[in-house]
Amino acid sequence: MRIPPETVEEIKYRNDIVSVVSAYVDLKPAGSNLVGLCPFHSEKTPSFTVFRSTGTCHCFGCGQGGDVVSFIRLIENVDYVEALELLAKRAGVTIPRDSTEVRSGGVSSKRILAMNKDAARIFNAALFLPEGKKGLDYFTQKRKFSPALIKHFGLGYAPESFDYLYARLKKLGYTDEEMTKGFLCGTSKKTGKPYDMYRGRVIIPIIDTHGDVVAFGGRVLDDSLPKYINTQDTPAYKKGRNLFALNFARKDCAERLILCEGYMDAIALHGAGITNAIATLGTATTPEQARLMARYTKSVVIAYDADEAGQKNAERAFRYIGEVGLDCRILKMTGAKDPDEYVKKFGREAFNRLIAESRSHFDFRLDEISKKYDLNDPDARLKAISEAVDFIARRSSAVERELYVSKAAEFFSVSKESVKLDSDKRRRAIIRETQKETARKNVLESQGIGDRINPDYAKNVRAAMAEEAVLGILLTYPELMKKAADGGLDLREDSFFTAFGKKVYSEAVRIARENDPFDPGLLGESFTAEEMSRINSYTVRRNGLRSNVDKELADCIAVLNDEAGKEDNDIASLLEKKRKQNKNN
């Protein structure tokens, strides 16, 4: 059922967008608005703007934004109703019972979270039963985890059975569909019956910063493969957007986070009293995870495994963490393959000394370069210096480049002047390449090519631009939207060229007829968070329009009616011609 519009209005009224956004973004005044670094993409120059006057936000870099509900949908990766529930809880608003059921692919994320909580209890209880002895021995004897640490992380065990978890969840009222959508059960291709996804594995619950069990990791007790089974994306979980143990680490990480490669490393560090340790979730570090870290800390120390794969993943982590403006360094471990082994072998104080001696990204790169090339060979030496120069040229900070120039000159025993000359030359080339690529992307974007939200845009750019202008004006001025809904404008659903534009107009008309005053935020019930960002961008473009609104609206409607029925324009024809040429070649 839908949440009543008056309840939505009350929730939004009690959740000032500046206050809500400020919990995630460091905002600074910019005239009548506020700006900050976008939480949805990596940037160093603030392009995320919060508009006090309209109660909306918009990033002029990536295009994400909307009202306070849209913002929460994007930042927390939840659907429309769940975003309203989070905001209602924040503001103390009661949502009428029986009006919050929402489904994602037939299963609500709320049910997935409840099921995960019950599953975590079942796994934890199994650890202390006779059939769980192997799992308990693994934790206490092999990993040396204390009973208190096992309890703290809610660790568990999945017995060697095809229906141990399934049978117990079934008794609790969960459906087969919910168990498969939640990645707790698979479906047999032979029999079509569900089976437990986790069998004969120790279980690590993944808990988010709200305290919800969102996923699980399951590890084998021997060397069989796959070593880990991790929850795939579900209606309640996106693995590239979460971090293991952040629910605990966030209390002690204002200055620094320790980023590990695996669950066991993070748990072992917490057991040693290093409680600001976190881990990625079966993936290399993602931009979303880097932005999540930036909400809680000033710096990150990478504590990846000492093997080749770990060091390769560290390079990616350096890149994304640096892009969100965090200071980032890396540990150099000797005598142990990973943080778990190191802290057990040498202790907490020795690990803390490693942190104090951690290296910068450039030190790490120089080390990798020296392993890659024989610096005694002139040709190899030149290639090594070229790699270092390219790294320096890509730093945005002039101070950082100057420091690295000095360090590279000393490392390779060449003059600072020659390193600076080459890095400046390379930087100019990089800037030219970037400008060319940006211009290319801008042209494609303006033509709507590759548009996933509105794929019809490129078929007739003139009509698509006109309909966006019409929608922007109608959504900005409620009295004009009401007029359109009452049939007072020469505008119909068929006037719109794209399927997306038709749907936006149709839903907006419905809302305007059912609600007075008209609230464009209610469109969120029918559109995804990304679609709402696009819709919001239409109104952002109209914010500066203060005169001749009626004339511009009439002109754009005229364009729409003039273009009605036209399926192609020059761009679409050109693309079709290109496709035919490629097919014939």
Supply the pLDDT for residue 281: 87
Inform me whether the pLDDT recorded for 344 exceeds 60.
Answer: yes
CATH superfamily membership of 5-91: Zinc finger, CHC2-typedomain (3.90.580.10)
Rounded mean pLDDT, 392-416: 94
Q: Look up tokens 């939004």; give the residue.
A: 12
Supply the pLDDT for residue 295: 85
Q: Dihedral of the CA atoms 18, 19, 23, 24 (nearest 10)?
A: -20
Q: Is 504 helix (H, G, I), strand (E, B) or coil?
A: helix
Supply the pLDDT for residue 238: 85
Q: Which of 25-34, 114-123, 485-494, 544-553 has the highest mean pLDDT?
A: 114-123
Domains of the chain, by residue range, sit at 5-91, 103-237, 364-446, 457-573
In CATH terms, the fold of domain 457-573 is: DNAb Helicase; Chain A (1.10.860)
According to DSSP, residue 527 is labeled: S
According to DSSP, residue 438 is labeled: H
pLDDT digits (tens, 9 = 90+) for 197-239: 999 999 999 999 889 999 999 999 988 899 999 999 888 898 8
Confidence of residue 329 (pLDDT cuts 50, 70, 90): very high
Q: Is the pTM of this model over 0.85?
A: no
Inform me whether the pLDDT recorded for 434 exceeds 60.
Answer: yes
How deeply is 201 buried, as exposed, middle or buried, from its count of CB atoms within 10 A (0-12, 13-18, 19+)? buried
Supply the pLDDT for residue 306: 81
Rounded mean pLDDT, 189-193: 91
Mean residue pLDDT of the chain comes to: 89
Inform me whether the pLDDT recorded for 448 exceeds 60.
Answer: no
Residue type, 467: E
Give the CA angle between residues 374, 377, 381 to the nearest 5°: 70
Q: Say which residues have a Cβ less than 8 Å from residue 156's Cβ, sequence separation at least 6.
A: 120, 122, 123, 124, 125, 126, 127, 132, 135, 202, 203, 205
Inform me whether the pLDDT recorded for 264 exceeds 90.
Answer: yes
Q: Which of 362, 366, 294 is nearest to 323 (CA)?
A: 294
Q: Which residue has the higher pLDDT, 369 or 584?
A: 369
Q: Which of 89-98, 331-340, 455-464 has the highest mean pLDDT?
A: 331-340
Helix or strand run (H / E) with residue 57: strand 56-59
Inform me whether the pLDDT recorded for 546 exceeds 50.
Answer: yes
Confidence of residue 584 (pLDDT cuts 50, 70, 90): low
Helix 398-412, helix 416-446: angle, nearest 10: 130
Supply the pLDDT for residue 582: 55
CATH superfamily membership of 103-237: DNA primase, catalytic core, N-terminal domain (3.90.980.10)
Rounded mean pLDDT, 87-108: 71
